Amino acid sequence: MSLSDLVLQPKITEKSSALLSENKYVFMVLPGTNSIQVRQFIEKKYGVEVVKVNMVKVPSKVRRRGRIVGRTAERKKAIVTLKEGHEITEIKDLF
């Protein structure tokens, strides 16, 4: 599996837009992805220098439709901190 398959998309929310002021970007990644793979992908694709990558597991939730009980999918987020002076303009334009 290539690195581009592991990082799914940037996460666009109010909280992630507030993190832009701290030079942090949020990406949704596959649950098996580690921070080294995320760092390599971001540095290669966007040509920026990554200082730190924090990973957050978002647990699944129980959902009901009448008597049928199911669960939502488990997700994982990567919060990427860039070096001062670097930015990803493609993502900043989305906000």
pTM: 0.82
Residue 19, domain member (yes or no): yes
Residue 18 lies in domain:
3-83
Residue 90, domain member (yes or no): no
Residue 72, domain member (yes or no): yes
Residue 92, domain member (yes or no): no
Question: What's the structural domain count of the chain?
Answer: 1
Residue 53, domain member (yes or no): yes
| pLDDT digit string, tens, across residues 31-87 | 888 999 999 999 888 889 999 999 999 999 999 999 999 999 999 999 999 998 888
Helix and strand numbers, DSSP H then E, in the chain: 4, 6
Q: What is the CATH number of the domain that holds 40?
A: 3.30.70.330
